[in-house]
Amino acid sequence: MLFNSFEFLAFYVTFLVTFFALPSRCQPFTMLIGSYVFYMGWRPSYALLLALTTIVDYTTGLMMQSARTEGGRRAAMITALTINLGILGTVKYLDFMISNVIGLAGLFGHQLPEYALGIILPVGISFYTFQSIGYTLDVYNRRIPAERNFIIYAQYVAFFPQLVAGPIERAPHMLPQFRRTRSFSFDNVPGGLWFIGYGLFKKVCVADVLAPVVSGIFANPQDYSGSYNLLAGLGFIVQVYCDFSGYSDIAVGVARIMGYDLMINFRQPFYSTSITDLWRKWNISLISWFRDYLYFPLGGNRGGELKTARNIMIVWLASGLWHGAAWTYIVWGAYYGVWLLVERGVRKTVDAERWLGARLSAILGGVWAIAIFTIGEIIFRAPTLASAWAMLLSFGHFGPLSYGTFKILGLPSFEMLMLGVSLIILFVVDYFLAFHPERLAAVAKWPRLPIVTGVGLAYYILLFGVFGRIEFIYFQF
């Protein structure tokens, strides 16, 4: 059930009416049932794995809480991690490992028959698994007590606004919200609708308009000059930003109307001043999860530069693997790990602001960040490493662009014009959100302007948005 579909609109309106019409004591059950109905819209069997993850981590959390010895606590924690990571590893990585074993055997002259289990990857399994693992580790490290109410914990794992593509929330932030009863408040509606509207705008007016061009060029990069491949790379970073941050914005808005608070997952990353700064603003929930539950336990930046470098590389290789079972993702993770280490070393030896001034240093740092990021996302998006390499090699042979090519790829003149308008709106709004949010807040207080702007945005989305049931990119993870 896609956020950018009329099916979801019907589901959400029905759910809202039911949730607030029933007595408050029924709200936890309504939320849980609604979340499972939402998730089963993809495939009913997915709910079995979601329920298993919930039961395992709820039970082991109680076991850690009641254990009388540290060994007992550790055994419960290891049990939870083994089951969670075992499920995730089986459905997501087993076929990848089998294919690599077959390929490795072939290198040594042993021809093994091709074999694949063909397991269908449940939507959002990486997101809710990491959210549940975060709870387990928080209980083990005594950051929070174990949740004794199963229905409250089950809502935390299955909360439908952020179930299938994040943001990956934390138990200390979310569990208390499920302990409170809710009453409908009109004060939550304007802010929630603005998040939903801006998220839909990014998804259907930018990401989905760019999608056919990006997909067409990435499918056959050898057929295009470096000019087209570079545009495809730049187009993809805009597409994936608008697609993923658009989903996160809609999730925040949907939750806010119901009275729940979700974290902001993106903070205008294209206005970053370095690749390090960009990754502090991109997919914040995942990056902070790896920082808190992997980087810091490994030692963080304590223990010298070599150990810090080791920890950074481990975190980014793990991040690559989290995204999927493919060598492109592993190389993608290693690529960013190396460049973050390079930036770390440069910052320690060169004071850019002193030599260039704060403004020029920020501008050049931003250009550097986008250049490194574009190459990284080409590796991420390409179907194979060979395809990514072909795209990067083509940058040495730029040629003229043809309108006819873009028309064939699915971007005729009117759509191209409206995409240009949408991109201007996107970057202007993001600029003010990044550097002058107080001005937007002041403008929002003008009489009737928010209503007029909201109605205008709604018409713009309906008139110029693409409603072709294109799934959100991060559903595959």
As a whole number, the mean pLDDT across the chain is 90
Instruction: Determine, yes or no, domain membership for 470.
Output: no
Instruction: Please say if the pLDDT value at position 472 is more than 90.
Output: no
Q: What is the mean pLDDT of residues 407-422?
A: 91
CA 473 to chain centre: 9
CA 449 to chain centre: 32
358 & 442 share domain:
yes
The confidence score (pLDDT) of residue 244 equals 93
Instruction: Determine, yes or no, domain membership for 295.
Output: yes
Instruction: Determine, yes or no, domain membership for 469.
Output: no
Instruction: Please say if the pLDDT value at position 247 is more than 90.
Output: yes
Instruction: Determine, yes or no, domain membership for 471.
Output: no
Instruction: Please say if the pLDDT value at position 119 is more than 80.
Output: no
Q: Could you tell me which residues come within 8 angstroms of residue 282 by beta carbon, excluding any fewer than 6 positions away?
A: 241, 266, 269
Lowest mean pLDDT among 208-217, 372-381, 464-473: 464-473
CA–CA separation, 255 and 198 (whole Å): 15
Number of domains making up the chain:
2
154 & 254 share domain:
no
- Cis-peptide, bond into residue 167, ω within 30° of zero: yes
443 & 315 share domain:
yes
Position 295: which residue type? Answer: Y
Instruction: Please say if the pLDDT value at position 33 is more than 90.
Output: yes
From the list 173, 323, 397, 436, the catalytic residue is: 323
Instruction: Determine, yes or no, domain membership for 1.
Output: no
CA–CA separation, 278 and 373 (whole Å): 9
The confidence score (pLDDT) of residue 454 equals 85
Residue after which a domain boundary falls, among 178, 201, 231: 178
Q: In the structure encoding, which two tokens stand for residue 182, read together?
A: 């809710």
pLDDT band at 2 (very low <50, low <70, confident <90, very high): confident
Instruction: Please say if the pLDDT value at position 148 is more than 90.
Output: yes
pLDDT band at 127 (very low <50, low <70, confident <90, very high): very high
CA–CA separation, 32 and 101 (whole Å): 41
The confidence score (pLDDT) of residue 94 equals 76
Domain containing 102 equals 7-178
Between residues 261 and 475, the one the model is more confident about: 261
Residue 149: CB atoms within 10 A of its CB come to 13
User: What percent of the chain lies above the pLDDT cut of 90?
Assistant: 66
CA–CA separation, 88 and 386 (whole Å): 27
227 & 249 share domain:
yes
CA–CA separation, 210 and 203 (whole Å): 10
395 & 263 share domain:
yes
CA–CA separation, 217 and 232 (whole Å): 6
Instruction: Determine, yes or no, domain membership for 475.
Output: no
Instruction: Quick: pLDDT tens for 277-323.
Output: 999 999 999 999 999 999 999 999 888 899 999 999 999 999 999 99
Whether the CB-CB separation of 263 and 177 falls below 8 Å is answered with no
141 & 206 share domain:
no
316 & 451 share domain:
yes
CA–CA separation, 243 and 165 (whole Å): 11
120 & 21 share domain:
yes
138 & 264 share domain:
no
Residue after which a domain boundary falls, among 122, 148, 178: 178
164 & 204 share domain:
no
Q: What is the mean pLDDT of residues 12-22?
A: 94
301, 314, 340 from 307: Cα distances, Å: 7, 10, 14
91 & 230 share domain:
no
Instruction: Please say if the pLDDT value at position 108 is more than 80.
Output: no
Instruction: Determine, yes or no, domain membership for 288.
Output: yes
Q: What is the mean pLDDT of residues 404-415?
A: 89
163 & 201 share domain:
no
CA–CA separation, 440 and 391 (whole Å): 40
pLDDT band at 410 (very low <50, low <70, confident <90, very high): confident
Instruction: Please say if the pLDDT value at position 118 is more than 80.
Output: no
Residue after which a domain boundary falls, among 150, 178, 206: 178
pLDDT band at 115 (very low <50, low <70, confident <90, very high): low
CA 329 to chain centre: 15
Q: In the structure encoding, which two tokens stand for residue 398, read together?
A: 């730029």
Of 193, 53, 19, the residue nearest 132 (C-alpha): 53
Which contacts qualify for 71-76: CB closer than 8 Å, 24 or more apart? 73/140, 74/140, 76/140
The confidence score (pLDDT) of residue 401 equals 87
The confidence score (pLDDT) of residue 469 equals 64
Between residues 344 and 117, the one the model is more confident about: 344
- Does the annotation count 436 as an active-site position? no
